Amino acid sequence: MASLLFSLLILALCHHVNSQDLSSDDQTILLNLKHHWGDPPSLDSWNSLSSPCNWPEIECTFGAVTSLRLAGKNINGTIPTTICYIPSSLYNCSNLEILDFSRNVISGVIPGELFLMKRLRQLSLYGNRLFGEVPIKIESQSLTYMDLSDNQLNGTIPDEIRNLNLSVMDLSVNSFSGSIADGVFRIHRLYYLPLAYNNLSGELPENMSLFSLQSLNLTHNRLYGTIPKGYQKLVRLSSLDLSYNQLSGDITDNMFRMRSKMSVIRLCFNKFSGKIPYELLDQSYTEHCFDVSNLCSDNRTEGLPGCPSRLCNSNYRIRSFLKCRVKHDKKHLLIIISVTIGCGIMGSIIIFYYLARKCLKMMHERMKILPSNVNNQEKEWEMISFQKLDFNETDILSSLTNDNLIGNGGSGSVYRVIINQSTGHTVAVKSIRNERKSDERLEKEFLAEIQTLGIIRHYNIVKILCCISGNNMKLLVESSPVSISSITKLDWPMRLRIAIGAAQGLCYLHHDCSPPIIHRDIKSSNILLDSEFNSTPKISEYAYTSKVNVKTDVYSFGVVLLELTTGRKAISGDDHMNLAERVQMHYREPSYLVESILDDEIKESSYLDQIVAVFRLGVMCTTTSPSNRPSMRDCVNILQNCTKKNSSSRSMIW
């Protein structure tokens, strides 16, 4: 069935035609495909009145299709059996350079003919239900990017893959087994290699030719043996994840000497022994992960040099190496500081309130709001930094005064602290007080959450600068936002930029963080803009069930899209139904007109198609069945297709 899908689509890519028009037969084939897929809203532009070369998913060069992007189109269903099989010889004539079928529900095996297309440069099939082995016959010398991740592929990774000129090869989250083929480590131009979450076993290959490799991820496999000496040749390597395997050996070997450029080193949940090299301790702003139990002589950690901050308590898994003071009290004050981003045009920055919600949920039973003054607090503090700072704990604590208090609410107090008067560098301090002795397990869970959030690096997500520990608990987050729900008027281009930026941040949390991070509180009052902090957002009253997962976030994000397009509140006090329920009830009615519910302030003819597309995406996101909701990757793709101009806004998840 999958072969029929690929064969059918590539038929339309092999013909040379005049101008920007494909043959009517090709158009008919593609439109039939759309119909058999259930006419998904994401393919609304596919119609008989326009040339396929004018469709957003297709790019043509001199009348020949060179790019077909169907990522995140919510394509499902079966392929009609009446479609003919395309001979393999036709693949050789294809001008296709980019083929993207990612984030759909395509099943079956990968046709070997795909790797016979001599001009193919990018192949993206991730996030489907493909199974079977990777074809052995590989002749696509032009292929530089191949992403087959998040499928059900099995068997061994073919050694013939060495014949490719790949720069990126992602085979993670599959069921590949056996040892890693030597050919994988002989692709000279490869710089990004995730093989995580498979069933790979055996020892790591000794001979390495990956002189361009920058990122290697082998976590969650069954690899054993030692780290070969050949890994010292990976001079450009900046990220290494070998965690959750059965690797062993002395970690003090020369593997990590002169690793000044390493930003990520994860070796935890293995069987390593020995002392951690001093070179790693000097990298205060590098993410590290080791197993304390296998690197220490006893509970006093005699096998570890220095005083890594995570060893202030015994039995911690080390995630960072920073200086720390000896602790005199078991209670902690934790302060999380986030980067301040300078404000630009109104709406250029949006922030979701995530961090406080995530951590407060864990500490709900043992916290209360910290008073506005801290004169009676203890004088001993411990600062854990996640990156280089231009301030210390004294700068923060001395500024927690009533004059700097900008908000009080059920989740805590918020202070605005100006770090540098000349530059205007400002941070916001979210404070929470612990009035009784902390539970050690919850304390460790909280620290683990903070450490995970501290290493997140994404332009749509607030960066955490540091954590200060004392008798109480504190959170510091980004200042200077204002809720979009308090803005009286936003034009459509601004609303679309807000939607795209928010979707990108959520997409990162859902798909690029391992394990995925669930926001749990997406709503318009938590989408923040500009220069003033909204300190009392309402608690969401919709989309929460006993089973919270990423599709819960998708539902809530869909509600925000409905608000942006209709101008109506998600929940109205004088209505027994919320906005999503009302839309879902009327949307399927034959006489229902989408235009009738759109916000009159933005309903301009030049933007109407975009507004309708975003509204329909909101409907898809809020459908009753979670399995039928798109992923956040799908949402990003659909929203970006609504405009040909890249958004200049920066949106952040808070």
The continuous run of DSSP H or E covering 494 comes out as: helix 492-507
Residue-by-residue DSSP string for 152-186: EEEEPPPGGGGGS--SEEE--SSEEEEPPPGGGGG
Task: For residue 195, count other CB atoms closer than 10 A to its CB.
Answer: 24
Task: Tell me how far apart the alpha carbons of residues 402 and 405 are, in angstroms, rounded to a whole number.
Answer: 5
Three-state DSSP at 386 gives coil
Q: Rounded to an integer, what distance in angstroms lies between the CA atom of residue 82 and that of residue 65?
A: 24
Work out the end-to-end distance of the chain between its first and last CA atoms, rounded to an integer number of angstroms.
43
Tokens of 309: 């901050």
Beta bridge partners of 92: none
Helices (H), 379-464: 393-397, 440-454
Cis-peptide into 515, omega within 30 deg: yes
Q: Residues with catalytic annotation?
A: 521
| The 336-338 sheet, strands edge to edge | 336-338, 464-469, 382-385
DSSP letter (8 states) at residue 369: P
Q: CB atoms < 10 A from the CB of 51, how many? A: 17
What residue type is 86 in one-letter code?
A: I
Q: Which residues pair with 229 in a beta bridge?
A: none
- Determine how β-strand 464-469 pairs with β-strand 382-385: antiparallel
The annotation status of 430 as a binding-site residue, yes or no, is yes
C-beta of residue 409 within 8 angstroms of C-beta of residue 347: no
3-state SS string for 297-323:
CCCCCCCCCCCCHHHHCCCCCECCCCC
CB 639 within 8 A of CB 503: yes
User: Which residues are part of a known binding site?
Assistant: 430
